[in-house]
Amino acid sequence: MASLNYHDELNHAREARQNGLEGRARVCARRAAGTAFAVYFKDSLSQSGKSAMDYLQMAKSDHRLPGEIQHAAERLTHQVNADHHLPDGFDLISDAETIIKFIDQQKIDRSLT
């Protein structure tokens, strides 16, 4: 997992959805966002022992993050129902995109200071 960057993982999510593999798309979206949070928290998934889901769990309760980002992380940790569906209106790829856009902007802002 650590060998892929979060942008690659997000592209895998999009490809999976285009191919009708929504379950795989969810997994890739979660992994993309979780890996992005590992970067944000300046940690390495391969060395920390934490999973992408661990980082999503951390982010959803981190009050330093904007509410929109916390809510996106919360939706990404939501479990599917018995029919393998999420509640109406949930789009994990969109949530991962929101998180990644935020984290990329934070990286730019940090590099300018």
- Give the separation between CA 62 and CA 17, rounded to whole angstroms: 29
pLDDT in tens, 26-54: 999 999 999 999 989 886 566 678 899 99
User: Do residues 97 and 10 lie in contact, with contact meaning Cβ atoms separated by under 8 Å?
Assistant: yes
- Give the separation between CA 31 and CA 43, rounded to whole angstroms: 15
How is the chain split into domains, by residue range?
Answer: 6-81+90-112
pLDDT score, position 85: 85
**CA-wise closest residue to 107 among 4, 1, 15, 5:** 5
What integer is the mean pLDDT of 68-76?
97
